[in-house]
Amino acid sequence: MDISKATVLVAGMGVSGRSACEVLAGRAAHVVTVDEGKSDADYHSFADVDFRGIDLVMSSPVFNPRTPFIVKAQSLGIPVVSEVELGWMLRVPSGQSQQPAPWIGITGTNGKTSTTQMVSAMLTGAGETAPAVGNIGKAVSHAAVDPSNQTLCVELSSFQLHFTQSLSLECAAITNLADDHLDWHGGFANYAADKAKVYRGVQRALVYNADDSRVSELAAAAHPAPGCKRVGFTLGAPQAGEIGVQDGWIIDRSGLDATGDDTAGDDTAARSLAAVSDFSHLCEPDGTVYPHLLADALCALALVLGHGIAADRAVEALKAFKPGGHRIQTVARYDTTVDADQRGIAQQTGSAHGGNGHRGESTDRPQADSSNVIRFVDDSKATNAHAAGASLSSFPPHSVVWIAGGLAKGGHFEDLLASYADRLSAAVIIGVDQRPMLDAFASKAPDIPLSIIDPEPKESVMQRAVDAAGTHAHPGSVVLMAPACASMDQFVSYADRGEQFAAQARLWVARRQADPHGQE
C-alpha cells in the first residue's frame, strides 16, 4: 500500500495509537482517529465512521479480533494492522546503512521483557544503537523511522502479532508458551498461531525453547528464510544446535560463530561461554539460580550470537546487565535474630524501583543467615499462571507466603497449584473476582492456610494484604507477590501493584523495627 495516498483510521488513542498518529503525520494522505474516551479524537463512536473512505485501519491491542468495527472493516476488504505492522511498512534506512535497521523479535508467554532487555544490553555493549522497543520502551513505529537506530530489539505481544502479517525478522525467539489471554484470542490454538508469526521468514537465527514441547513444535513447523539456523536453548546439557547448561557452565553448541556466518559454525563442538555464577542477576545472593531468568539469558545469547556479535563481548555485556523492576526483586528484609535496639534489624531497598544494590537489596551490610530472615519479593510482572509457577519454583518447599489473585484473563490455576503447592506455607488472596483462585485452592491445595482480602476499599488492598502475609510469615519465609493475574482490577498497572507492595513491605518491616514483639 502507498501510505502517501492512503486515509488511515487509527482506532484507540493509547500509547500505540498516539505514536502511530505522530509517525503518520506527513506520511499518510489523511489520518482519522477514533476513541470513545479521548476528547481529542476525531470520532467518539465507531458508528460515526464512514468506512467507505478508509484505506487502512491501525488498531490498538485493546480491541480483540471479534470487535464489531474490526469485523466490519475486514468484511469491506480494508486491511487491519497493528502498530508493529505499521512500523514495518514505514521503516527507513539506517544512517549506518542503505537498508532499514534489522529487527530482532522476542515473544512468548513469559520472559519477553527480560530477554529483550538483555539483547539490547548486549548489542549496546558491543557498540550498536539497539534500543528495546515494541511492547516495552519506545513504540516500535517511532523507532522504525529513526535512522539513528542500527538494530531494533522488539518485544512482541500476541495482540500485536495477530494483526501483523509482513514481518520478516533477522532473528526471532519464542521464550515459552502457556495459557494466557485466551479470552482475547478465543483459545490456545489461536494464541499459539499468533505467537508463531515471529518465525515466518526469519533470516538468520530461529531461536526456540528446547525444553518447551509446544515451542519446539512451532519451531520445527516454521518456514524461515533459506540459510536460517534453528537454535534451541535448554537448562540441561545442550545437544548439537543448542545452547545450554552443564556442570554450572553455559555451553554453546549452536554452531553460530563470532561473525554471524551461520554456515561456518560447527554445532558438534562445545565451547564454554561462562560460569552461571558469574551472572549476579540470575542468582540469589547465596548463589541459588533463578531458572526462568537463566532461560531468558540463554535465549538472549542465542539471538545475539545469531546477529553476529562475538561471544566474549556478548557475555561481558550480559554480566553487567541490570534487570528491570518488578521481576523477582527482593524489596525488604527483616532479620528476626537482631534486637530492635541494634538498628540494622532489616535491610531494605532505597526505592520501590529496586534501589542501587543487588536486585534491589542493600549491599553495604553483611547478609544475614537466610534461615533467620523474612524476605519480601516483588514479582508483580508474573501476570499469569506460567510466570507465577516459574517464580514459585525458585524457592524451597514450604517457604512461600504467596500473595495471589487479580484479573484472571480467562485463566485457571488448578495446574499451577498441583505443581507448586508444596512451595507454599500460606497464601493471601487479592482481586475483585477471587473465585478462580479460591476454587483452585479448594480443589488442589485445601490444607494451605488462606487469608482473603476484601476488595473494598481498594486503596488499602495492598496494606491489608502485606499485613495478612506478615501474620503467616516466620523466620526463613519469603513473602512473594507473584499474583498469576493482571493488575487492572485494583491497580493502575503491574508496576503500580509492585510499587505499592514494596512500600507496604518496608512499612511492615519499619513497624517491626520499632516493636519487634508487637502484634501486627
| Binding-site annotation: residue ranges for ATP | 108-114
DSSP assigned state of 111: S
The answer to whether the CB of 152 falls within 8 A of the CB of 144 is yes
Q: Among 153, 242, 156, 166, which residue's Cα sits nearest to residue 200? A: 166
- Annotated binding residues, written as ranges, equal 108-114
By the 10 Å C-beta count (0-12 exposed, 13-18 middle, 19+ buried), 3 is classed as middle
Instruction: Please report, as a single letter, which amino acid is at residue 30.
Output: H
- Looking at 21-149, which runs of residues are DSSP E strands? 30-34, 56-59, 80-81, 103-107, 132-134
Alpha carbon of 58 to those of 37, 163, 197: distances in Å?
17, 9, 18
Question: What would the grid cell of residue 11 be?
Answer: 482506532
Give the C-alpha distances (Å, rounded to integers) separating 334 from 341, 376, 384, 510: 14, 9, 28, 9
* Unique residue bearing C-alpha cell 489523511: 30
Counting every residue written for the chain, the total comes to 520
**Residue in the block written with cell 556478548:** 314
Map residue 102 onto helix, strand or coil: coil
Contact indicator for 157, 135 with CB cutoff of 8 Å: yes
